[in-house]
Every structure is written in C-alpha cells, then in structure tokens.
Structure 1
Amino acid sequence: MKFTVSPRLLDHFGVAMYNTVTKAIAELCANAYDADAKIVKINYTDSQIVISDDGLGMTTSDMKEKYLHLGRDRRGDESENGELTQSGRAVIGNKGIGKLAGFGIVQTMTIETWKSGEKTRLTLDRDALDTVEELESFDLQPTVTKVRSKTSSGTTITLSDFLEEVKRPEDEVLRAYLARHLPARHDWQIFVNGVKCSPGSIPGKKLGSMTSSKDTAGCVGTTSLRTIGAVWNPALASEFEIVLFRTPAYSA
C-alpha cells in the first residue's frame, strides 16, 4: 500500500496559481534567479515564449533528482545552501512547484539545459500527463548530447501551444509586471524581446529618486522601494536607482 499522485493535482497545486502569462513567466524567471542567472532573455510571440538564462543549468542527474522531484523544497535540502543560492542570493522561487508554471498557460513545455559539457532536452506535454493513471509511472525520456564547453551553463524553456483562454499581454505590460515583482540588482537583468526590464518600465507618477553606487552583495526588492515613505538604506543599495512612484492599483 502506498500513496499515489493523481495528475489532476497539477491543476490544483501547480497550475492554478499561474493562469496568466505574466504570473507564469515571473515564476520561471524566479527559478532562473535562484539558479544564479545574471541575464534572462525572453522572446515572446503569439505562438510561443522562449525563456533563456545563463544560470547554473542542470546535468541529466540534476534534472532527475531535482527538477522532476515535484514538491521538493530546496530550502530544506542538505545538499543545497538552504535559504541562499550558491552566490548568496535569497531564494525566491515557489517551493518545488514553480517549475510547472508554464502549464498554467500552455500545453507543451520543452526544457533544454546544459552543464559540465552535457546538454539535456526534455519535452513535457500537459495532455499526456493527464492521461496516465499515476504520475510516478509516467516514463520520461530526455535527449542527452555533449557540448564543447564544459564551463558554460544555462537553461532554455520553450512554452508552446497556448491554452484557449490565455490572453497575451503587450510587451510593456509584461516588462512592468516583471520589474515590479522580481528583485532589482546590478547582477540581474531581464530582457523582453530585446528591451530591458527596469524601474522605468512601471507606469506611474514619479515623485523623486535617489541613487547609490555602493557595490554590495545585498539587494532590495523593487516593490518595497516603490512605496511612498519608503526608507532608503544605502547599505542595501547596489548600483541602481531608487525611484518612488505613486501608482494606481495594478494587476495582470
């Protein structure tokens, strides 16, 4: 006798939270942030979304033991650094389920990741997962190839076959959402169709600004800074502009 997991649970604990393009992409970008990526490039069209990062990437073993381990909490994993990434960033991704965020908006997710001279490619189909009796019995066969460089690493996730009810936001709306909900750091940049997400991406009336060139390992999330009366602490700033806005209620 043992517990089993119904594939329909994807709709309850993994997908329902990410039923908009902005939420799904933000969570996948959060995973890239937790992988210590410095640059994330999002190519966004009406037919697909491609999210590429230069983070730590995964080997085939990593994908099996970590990525495909649903519900895994890296914060409590002794092989990980708890609440911090390898570079010392505070972990921001959802606990073990954010990797499925793409299924909130598309039928097909293709993950291509490379590390230590090895590239692993895996395609996940939402409909196929829904047809198996037990999720644990679903056999996944990744494609593994060698790459020339053993030092480069990263991950590319391609989302395709949009669900019918999904609405595609304009580029500027997506950039504003990502700028609002993800950290602002000098070593972390996101581009949507070649245009960088920045505090200037957020609509609103600019009330004032302060800048700091102090280079520290700390960071401040952008949301807390865009509040009237926010306290500026130069010790936490890291080569970016602190801008105060009065913004209307915003959701995406």
Structure 2
Amino acid sequence: MREEATLRIPVTVDKSHIIALGERLYGESIELVRELVNNAYDADASGVNVQINKDNIVVEDNGNGMTLEGLKEYFNIGSPQKRILKKSPRFAREMIGQFGIGKFSSLSACQRFEVWTKKDNFAATVTFDKHEWEKNKDVWHLPLKIHTPSPKQKNGTRVTLTGLTKNFKVSDVKAHLMETVPLKAPNFSVYVNGEKLSSQYIAGKKIPFLEGTEFGTVYGEIILVTSGSSPQEKAGIQCKVKGVTIKRDFFGLENLGSPAKKIYGFVNANFLPITSDRTGFIIDSPQYQAFEAVMQQVAKRVREQLRILADERGNRKINRRLKEAMKRIEKALLHNPDLCPFGLAAQGEKIEEGEEKLEITKEEKGGPPPEEWKEPKERGRERPKFEEFARKRPKIRSLTSTGVIRQLKAKEMGITCLVDHFGEDGPESYIEGSVVYINRDHPVYKEAAKTRLSFVMHLARL
C-alpha cells in the first residue's frame, strides 16, 4: 500500500484579530486604565499619574523605562517575559502581567495610542493607529521614532490614548483603581487628575487568617461592619493575586441575606490561575479547589462571628425585656399576696386619686422580725457575714458565650433565668432546680420577639 504524502500548512493570524483582541479583551473599557497602571507597577514605578481628559487619557510612570529591545518585547503578543522573570529588578515585586496582551486593551476605547519611553540614553515613541494598521494587510510594523533624550528627563514610560470612543468618569476610574491595583504595596503611589488614591479604611470586627496549601499560602482579613454607615465600596471579599483584585466573592455567605451586606475584606493567593481577561479564576484547577476548601473554613468562622455579633445586639434587647417582664411578675405578686413568698406581702400606698404605689415590704413593719427571719447561729456565735455568700448557687449550663442570665431574688427565694441557643427543634423552655432555660431559637420565641409587648409577655409567661 502506497503511503500518502504528508503536507504542511502554515498557521496564520489575520491582522484584524489584533484589534478585535484589544476591543473584546475586557468586559468594561475602564479595565484598560487598570492594565496600564499595573504595567507601571511591574516596571518598578514608584509613582503613576493618570490624567483623564475629554479628548485623551495619559498614564505616565517613573519606572525603569524600555530600551529598543524592551519595546520590541512590549509589542510581542503573548510574550512570556514576565512569567520568566517573575519578580521586578528593583523592588522585587511579584509580576502582575502574565499573558502579554493587556496593552492592546487600549483599543477598546480609542482609535490611537502612543507609547513614549526613556531608559538611560535611549528614548523613543511607538504609535499604533487603527486606520493605518488596517490599510495594508501585509505590513506588520509600527512606526518608531528615536529621540535624543534630555539629561533632565527621568526614566519612565508614558502612554497616551487619543481619539476616544468611550467616556470615562473620573470618579469611576478612581473607584476602580482603588479596588484593582496594589495601592498598599510599598514604594507605590497612584494619582488620578492630581489626587492621590488610597485604600479605604473599614472599621469593624476583624477576622485575620493565614492558611497553607500544597500550592502556597492563603492569607487575608475579613471585616464585619458592626456599626455606623456601610463603606462606599461594594460588599464582599476581594480575591487577590499578587495584591491585585481579580473578583469579589462571598463563598456561600451571600445566603445569609442582609448580614452579608456587612461583610468586607480580602484574601490573597498568588498561586491561583486566572483567566486571560483577569476577571476570574480557572475554577476546575486543583489550585482553585485547594483555595476553595480554605475559604469554606474561613466562612464557618465568619458565620460564627456574625452569630455572636447578632446575639450581642439582641442581648441588649433581651435584658430590657427581661427586666420589664420581672417587674410585671413583681407587680402581679403584689396584687396577689397569697402567691408571694413567705414573709413578703403587698402594700399599696395612695399617691393620688386612682393611682397606687406598690412595693414589697416586710409584713410586720415596725416590730421585731419573725423568728424565721433571724440568721441561724453556730456554736453560740453569729455566722460571719462572708458566709452569706458561700451558699450553694444553682449550676447554670450555658451552651454559648452569649447567653443572657438574670436573677430575680426575694429574701431566701429566687429564680435564675437563662436565655440561650438550644436549637429550633429544642424545647421552648425547661427548668432545672431554680433555673429557667429559655430557647431563643424556638419559633414561638422568634415570633414573640418581633414586638415589645408580645416579647415581654412571652418571657413573663415562661
């Protein structure tokens, strides 16, 4: 059998795909500003100035700048240089860029972008114009102008976007950069129209965490806003790679409803693989699965802290209602002296017409106390006062650290009330000795707690 000849065919890329790639790389055009600022970070810039104008956008940095070879590498689509270097030469920063295609995102919002750069004795300008690029399909070159650098000029790069096709609000650019660039990194500042950006401080309960995986470290901090107005930024946990926010996530905590609106913070995991548009993760990768397992454990801690914070707020309400309920019980005993503890009776004192002042008093006021009221004597001497406090107190079994305990005492008699979590399927209440346990998880309790009067009467009944 005669063998068939093996042919070879070339793999080509149409020039128009360069423009299509830039225009469709990101879902929002505002991402291009973030991409340019992050490029400056990778270039060891200590300062980046972003100027948003009606007709153009200028992003200028004081980074390392580029030589001629550096410019060629800059326009090399898919260049692996940053993945090979991994860290910047001056500040040893973890390189943010990975794919070598972000610079073309400028085409999503402009007709033309110009890159000026200077490194030591070299300075040049490269221009990419959509119309010129599309004129000749066989020409794959860009115009390059080499300048004589001025001794006063410092190293750095400036990217200018002209012929804007999208409108950019300065406030939107600021908010986006505050979330998506590493503003907390040392020796790095970003200015937008002359105003320095800084990450927003959020006050609240902080939950720091640091966990290890086989791929690397997962660390961060969750903040639960406890009081005051909510921060300006969106709720959620910022998932960062190398200090840059890729997306926000709640890791199942969004099912909590309104408490989820109080959850802020960040988590950083440099080993996570990200999508080419830098807006998501490769979720079926083993790295992401390990990351997800860690964050589910963190989410459990967050749920427990939210429960404690909710209990602390609810406990203030419970204490007020328990106090009111006990006053009602006291008042009821005054109206029903036959139910009062021995030695106590109700006495009414007229204040004004139609009103009585009620108090619990000793039954034989003004005379010697009954024999039963006298303190017992031991071996011919009176018991020392400190022994009064050595009486055996009831054992109270509190299931959580946020249980509410109140005592109602009448001479030698008294009860202790404990409001705590015993589960929705647990009893409404039960008694052990002189301790009354009230279940705050019970459906009847939750329904009664909605209004003041029903809550007070419910507690008094129990």
Which residue is 1:242 aligned to? none
Q: What whole-Å deviation, never above 9, does each CA across 1:85-142 have from its counterpart, x for those lacking one?
A: 21211111251101112111100001100002221011110122223324xx333231
**Residues 1:72 and 2:90 aligned together:** no
**Quick one: which amino acid aligns to residue 76 of structure 2?**
H
Letter aligned with residue 9 of structure 1: H
What is the one-letter code of the residue matched to 1:74?
Answer: Q
- Once the two structures are overlaid, the 10-residue window that deviates more, 125-134 or 104-113, is 125-134
Q: CA RMSD in A?
A: 3.0
**% identical aligned pairs:** 26
Q: Which amino acid aligns with 1:207?
A: A
Q: How many residues align?
A: 211
Distance 1:231 1:141, change over 3 A: closer
Task: Specify the alignment match of 1:92 in structure 2.
Answer: 96
Which residue identity does 1:161 align to in structure 2? G
The structural deviation recorded for 1:39 is 0.6
Match of 1:207 in 2: 203
Taking structure 1 as reference, are residues 20 and 221 closer, same or farther at Cα in structure 2, changes over 3 Å only? Answer: closer
Q: Using CA pairs below 8 Å that are at least 6 residues apart, which structure has the higher relative contact order?
A: 1
Report the counterpart of residue 146 of structure 1 in structure 2: 148
Q: Are residues 1:111 and 2:111 paired? A: no
1:41-52, aligned counterparts within 5 Å? 41-52=49-60
Alpha carbons of structure 1 residues 223 and 119: separation in structure 2 relative to 1, 3 Å: same
- Between 1:145-154 and 1:33-42, the stretch displaced more is 145-154
Alpha-carbon shift at residue 226 of structure 1 (Å): 11
The CA distance in 2 between the partners of 1:74 and 1:89, in whole Å, is 14
CA deviations 1:168-226 (Å, max 9, x no partner) are: 232121111001011121311111100112123x9xxx43398xxxxxxxx85578999
Identify if the C-alpha distance between structure 1 residues 98 and 115 changes in structure 2 by more than 3 Å, giving closer, same or farther.
same
Distance change in 2, residues 1:16/1:113 (3 Å) = same
The secondary structure found in structure 1 opposite 2:204 is strand
Judge conservation of contact 2:122–2:149 (CA < 8 Å) in 1.
Answer: yes
TM-score between both structures, scaled by the size of structure 1: 0.73
Match of 2:169 in 1: 170
Give the Cα separation in 1 of the matches to 2:128 and 2:41.
22
Which has the higher Rg, Structure 1 or Structure 2?
A: 2
Which residue of structure 2 lines up, in the alignment, with residue 191 of structure 1?
Answer: 191
Q: 1:3 aligns with which of 2, 6, 11?
A: 11
Secondary structure of the equivalent of 2:32?
A: helix
Tell me the distance in 2 between the aligned counterparts of 1:151 and 1:128.
30
Change (3 A) 1:99 1:229: closer
**Structure 2 residue identity aligned to 1:138:** W
**1:238 matched residue in structure 2:** none
Where do 5+ consecutive residues of structure 2 fail to align?
1-8, 207-241, 251-262, 269-462
What's the offset of the Cα at 1:11? Answer: 4.1
Range 181-190 or range 125-134, more displaced: 125-134
Q: Distance in 1 between matches of 2:60 and 2:107?
A: 17
Distance 2:83 2:247 in 1: 27
